[in-house]
A and B are shown apart, each in its own frame.
Chain A
Amino acid sequence: MSGLDFDLAHLFAGLMVLVCFLMLYQDRLYSLLNTFAVHAMVLSLAVAWQAYIQGAPQLYVTAAIALIFKAMVIPIALHRLIRRMDLHREIETVGGIGRTMLLGMALVALSISVMLPVTAAAGTLAREDLAFALSIVLLGLLMMITRRNAVSQVVGFMTLENGLILAATGAKGMPLVVEISVAFSVLIAFIVIGIFLFRIRERFDTVDVGALDSFRGDRR
Chain B
Amino acid sequence: MEERNYIQGILHASKTLLVGLKTSIKIFFEHHETEQYPENRDTLIFSDRNRFCLEMPHNEKNQYKCIACGLCQMACPNDSIHITSEMVETEDGKKKKQLVKYEYNLGQCMFCNLCVTACPHDAIQFNQEFENAVFDKKKLILTLNHPGSTLAEKPRPVVTPKPLETLKTAE
Do A and B come from the same complex? Answer: no
